[in-house]
Structure 1
């Protein structure tokens, strides 16, 4: 699974346009959301999603590999323990959200698909 990040998504109209572009390209959204002008969505095919969005004129599109982590949401502190383990590993998280199956979607700082990983 891939995380598609699009910057500059600031309104319901912007989000409707983005979702329409992806839908017309046959790309389903498996999780995600939009916060303060940045949209993150989980998709099967990040290359196709980026192609559809850039063809439609979106300039700021990033695609990263996503890690799907099961999390027992009914257990208090589960997210804290998961994040502590990741922090202890020295990994950077750039986004965290849930998918439609209640798994945590973790987008790591060094997981860009386009070969421009942060060093």
Structure 2
């Protein structure tokens, strides 16, 4: 899966238009959100078919700013402080978080500046907290 970074005009119906375009092209959103920034909205959505989604959106006048690798992990919701502790591990490894949201399976989705280094930290985190469960990208 990949993160699509999309620039939407901040006007009535734009998110509906995006959803309809993707739906008409049989592309499902697996997580994400939009963030208002004056006259624009920055959207980040997790998709299984990033190139097809990018093509469909751009063919309909919606700008896709980027397609990004993601880190996917599960935090222990029964233990307070998991987000802070995990993000500290990334910071200690000199990996900067560019975007963060959740998917529909309550997993943490993170876009970072150093995906290879970030993946090593995720793998170690998952092994430490979840054992042998597979939460690979």
Structure with more helix by fraction: 2
The separation in 2 between residues aligned to 1:7 and 1:108, in whole angstroms, is 19
Larger radius of gyration: 2
| CA-based RMSD | 1.5
User: SS of the counterpart of 2:61?
Assistant: coil
Equivalent-residue separation in structure 1 for 2:64 and 2:31 (angstroms): 20
For 1:31, the equivalent position in structure 2 comes to 31
Q: Which residue of 2 aligns with 1:51?
A: 55
Residue 106 (structure 1) aligned with residue 110 (structure 2): yes
Q: Secondary structure at the match of 2:22?
A: helix
Task: Name stretches of at least 5 consecutive residues in structure 1 with no aligned partner.
Answer: 112-119
Structure 2 segments unaligned to the other structure (5+ residues):
116-137
- Structure 1 segments, 4+ long, off by >3 Å, are none
- Matched pairs, number: 111
Greater CA deviation, 22-31 or 7-16?
7-16
Task: Quickly say closer, same or farther: Cα 1:31–1:87, change in 2 above 3 A.
Answer: same
Instruction: Give the TM-score, by structure 2 length.
Output: 0.75
For normalisation by structure 1, the TM-score amounts to: 0.85
- Following TM superposition, by how much is the alpha carbon of 1:11 offset from its aligned partner in structure 2, in angstroms? 4.3
Deviation string 1:78-116 (CA, Å, 9 cap, x unpaired) is 0001100111111121110001111100011356xxxxx
